[in-house]
A and B are shown apart, each in its own frame.
Chain A
Amino acid sequence: MTRVCRTAFIALATTAIISPLGSANAEELTVMATGGAWQAALRQAWFEPFAKKANVKLNEQEYTGELGKIKAMVETGNVPIDLVTVETSTVLQGCDAGVLIRLDYSKIAERSKFLPGTALDCGVGIDVYGDVLAYDTTVLKEAPTSVLDIFDTKRFPGKRAMRKAPAQNLEWALMADGVPAADVYKVLASPEGVDRAFKKLDSIKKDIVWWEAGAQPPQLLASKEVVMTTAWNGRIQNAIDQDKRPFALVWNNQIVEYDMIAIPKGAKNLDLAYKYLAYAAEPEVSAQLGRFIPYGPVRADATPFVPKEVLPKLPTAPDHMKAYLVSDVEFWGDQGEDLVKRFNAWLAQ
């Protein structure tokens, strides 16, 4: 028994030492993000400089990007976080569910300075990323030329990975079925259009491996589990630049999207949260993220501050904008819930 006690004591002592000691007096700001390489980039580009500049303690938390935990916090009135990064579609969901507050843009920046669709009621954009196609150059002999090649199982046989969500996949399915990019959301708004998209997805369903977390696509390529995968450009670029993987990106027909940041209802350090949002929205500051992961700023006047060597890797580089689609936030806000349900039913079949 004494040995058990001693082990336990050591365990307790270790925990006491390694668990972060909250300092009671300094101002604190708690940010929750979705982890991985992306959060590391946010830390270097914004969190640490802001903490130094505003002389506050900035705590980081991680989550899966799903709002369930925040909803539980809000429902019980105990909200230990002040800022949370979310996807665009999640912003609308959280807005409706009363989980995120409606932002007061007078405390952040002039709303018109942001790119269209990046300054929403409950969330403000932080970066621009591209949904692209990625493959391992040592596996595929013939290089795909468009994201839509993922539907071509004749030329590119084998498993392919797509994100486990209807967004983007339905758009690509329609484009692969011959719908021009400009008409995609118009067609998708009709029941026949939705049927058509699912029918196109059906044609490759048995070859699809579904990914959920952004770090999975490079992993799936590395283990050769799939021959190609849709992915967020930054994750693949980092695998190429930092891990020296023989991967390549296909930009043709990319879908352009935005990451957002929001304030949960009941956040305790509201003023400081707004101060952070205002700081990160400054043109020069907002360009910093590109130094750590190739995602672009959400305001046009920030582009001059993006380092020259990063520009060609951004989704907004002229070479990458020959054929693209901008994700329609309004459409997904209206139809998202139905389409997710339909998508899940389709998956289960």
Chain B
Amino acid sequence: MLLSQYPTTGERLRAAALWFWCILVLVFLVVPIFVPVPLSFNSGSFFTFPLAGLSTRWYEVVLGTPRWRAAIGNSLLIGFGATVLATILGTLTAIGLSDPKFPARRLVVPLLISPLIVPVVVTAVGTYLFYARIGLANTYAGIILAHTVLASPFVVVTVGASLTGFDRNLMRATSILGAKPHIGFFRVMLPLILPGVLSGAAFAFVTSFDEVVVVQFLANADQRTLPLEMFTGLREQLSPAITAAATLMMALSILLLIVANLLARRSRRDASVLVE
């Protein structure tokens, strides 16, 4: 569809140039992501090509040593806690916002998306000093709360997008038919917006699973997460274990991307709604 039915030479040239450029851009986008994969199977302890030999020893390190395993466990725990909280709170908020009678929208919406705009170091430092005062620093609860804040805008936006296609008259119909509000919500609304809710949850999980700046301030040695372990590793002691961890994290990302994409397609939207 790039060319008209009877393309001129100029048109063909332009199309070829466009393709050429875009293929370069795609290579730039995608190839670096996969660079850690072969390195993670390196049998030597160097962080560079060429490989000394193939082995899974670095996966054994990441999956077998207490330090890395604790980090993986922490990341899952914190990611799960933040996802559940952000998804519930964000979905409720999106439903409230989708009501045309919502008051003071012009004040509330900027507040809701502010965690995306405020530089994360400012958030991290502020949260750290404040949480330290109220005893939440160096606790799982503190990190989960902070991650919930960072992840909630994604849920609000994704669920909000799926609610625009939702006909509110359905809810009125259920209430006229005598159903209590929560029945209407679970039987009518939730099934329809579920793809949006789940892809919002996927977004929330990735946000928390990827987060390192807030964790760097809020966590002590017991709460080190996978990204924090990688950050210190990259900064101080490059070992191929990092590439193994990176490969595992990437596999998880790809899995979540596929899930989110399928969900998005189920709600008859393509993946771009995720960022709209």
Kindly list 8 other residue pairs between chains A and B, CB separation below 8 angstroms, not including A35-B232, A78-B135. A8-B76, A11-B80, A14-B76, A18-B66, A20-B222, A80-B220, A213-B236, A216-B236
Which of the 9-residue segments B94-102, B125-133, B172-180 touches chain A?
B125-133
Chain A residues contacting B74 (CB-CB under 8 Å) are 15
Interchain residue pairs with CB less than 8 A apart (6): A14-B73, A18-B69, A62-B221, A76-B133, A219-B236, A222-B46
Expressed in whole angstroms, the minimum distance between the Cβ of A245 and any Cβ of chain B is 10
Select which of B66, B76, B129, B235 is within 8 A of A11 by beta carbon: B76
CB distance from B96 to the nearest CB of A (A): 23
A61 at the interface (CB under 8 A from B): yes
Q: Which of A8, A15, A60 has the most CB of B within 10 A?
A: A15
Tell me, in angstroms, the Cα distance from A159 to B129 when the chains sit together: 39
CB atoms of A11 and B221 under 8 A apart: no
Whether B222 contacts A219 by the Cβ 8 Å rule is no
Once the chains are docked, how many angstroms separate the CA of A246 from the CA of B276?
54
Picked from B129, B133, B138, B235, the residue with its CB within 8 Å of the CB of A213 is: B235
- 0/1 interface trace, chain A 191-227, chain B, CB 8 Å (1 if under): 0000000000000000000001111100100110000
For residue B238, CB closer than 8 A to chain A, the reply is yes
- Min CB–CB distance B190 → chain A (angstroms): 11
Q: Which residues of A contact B (CB under 8 A)?
A: 7-8, 11-12, 14-15, 18-20, 35-36, 60-62, 69, 72-73, 75-76, 78, 80, 212-216, 219, 222-223, 243
Among the listed B72, B73, B129, B137, which residue makes an inter-chain contact with A19, where contact means beta carbons less than 8 Å apart? B73
Known A12-B80, A72-B132, A75-B132: A61·B69 in contact at CB below 8 Å: no
Asked whether B48 is an interface residue with its Cβ less than 8 Å from the other chain, the reply is: yes
Q: How far is the CA of A73 from the CA of B135 in the complex (A)?
A: 10
Contacts A72-B132, A78-B132, A223-B48 given: A15-B236 contact, CB under 8 Å?
no
Is B70's CB within 8 Å of the partner chain A?
Answer: yes
- Chain B hits for A12, CB < 8 A: 77, 80
Query: Would A8 and B70 be within 8 Å (CB), given that A72-B137, A213-B235, A223-B238 are in contact?
Result: no
How many angstroms from the CA of A19 to the CA of B139 in the assembled complex? 13
Decide yes or no: A19 and B132 within 8 Å by CB, A36-B236, A80-B138 being known contacts: no
Q: Is B45 an interface residue (CB 8 A)?
A: yes
Q: Name the A residues within 8 Å of B129 (CB-CB).
A: 72
User: Which of B73, B132, B237 is in CB contact (< 8 Å) with A215?
Assistant: B237
Cα-based distance from A208 to B28 in the complex (angstroms)? 29
Pairwise interchain contact B70-A61, C-beta atoms closer than 8 A? no
Docked CA distance A83–B16 (Å): 66
Chain B residues, CB < 8 A from A14: 69, 72-73, 76
Q: How far is the CA of A20 from the CA of B73 in the complex (A)?
A: 12
Q: What CA separation (Å) do A92 and B82 show in the bound complex?
A: 40
For residue A84, give the distance in angstroms from its CB to the closest CB of chain B.
Answer: 12
Docked-complex contact B236 and A215, CB < 8 angstroms: yes
Given the interface pairs A80-B138, A223-B48, the reply to whether A15 lies near B221 with Cβ below 8 Å is no
Contact assessment for B238 and A219 in the assembled complex, using a CB-CB cutoff below 8 Å: yes
Cβ-defined contact, B237 with A19, below 8 A: no
Give Cα distance in the complex from A243 to B46, angstroms: 11
What B residues does A223 contact at CB under 8 A? 47-48, 238
Q: Which of A11, A76, A80 has the most CB of B within 10 A?
A: A11
Q: Please report the C-alpha to C-alpha distance between residue A222 and residue B138 in the assembled complex, in whole angstroms.
A: 35
Chain A positions within 8 Å of B47 at CB level:
223
Interchain nearest-CB distance for A32 vs B (Å): 8
The 4 closest A-B CB pairs, nearest first, are A11-B76, A15-B73, A213-B236, A61-B221
B55-80 vs A, CB cutoff 8 Å, 1 = contact: the mask equals 00000000000100110111011001
Kindly supply a per-residue 1/0 record for chain B positions 225-263, scoring 1 wherever the CB is within 8 Å of any chain A CB and 0 otherwise: 000000010011110000000000000000000000000
Q: How far is the CA of A60 from the CA of B84 in the complex (A)?
A: 32
Bound-state Cα–Cα, A216 to B70, Å = 24
Residues on A with beta carbons closer than 8 Å to the beta carbon of B66: 18
Contact B137–A60 (Cβ < 8 Å): no
Residues of B within 8 A of A8 (CB): 76, 80, 84
- Tell me if B237 and A219 are in contact (CB < 8 A): yes
Contact A76 B132 (CB under 8 A): yes
B138 contacts across to A, CB distance below 8 A: 80
Cα-based distance from A5 to B235 in the complex (angstroms) = 35
Residues of A within 8 A of B46 (CB): 222
**What's the Cα separation between A73 and B131 when bound, in Å?**
11
Query: Which of these, B76, B232, B235, contacts A15 with CB under 8 Å?
Result: B76
User: Who on chain A is nearest to B76 by CB?
Assistant: A11
Residues in A neighbouring B73, C-beta threshold 8 A? 11, 14-15, 18-19
- Chain A nearest CB: distance from B223 CB in Å? 9
Shortest beta-carbon distance from A80 to chain B in Å: 7
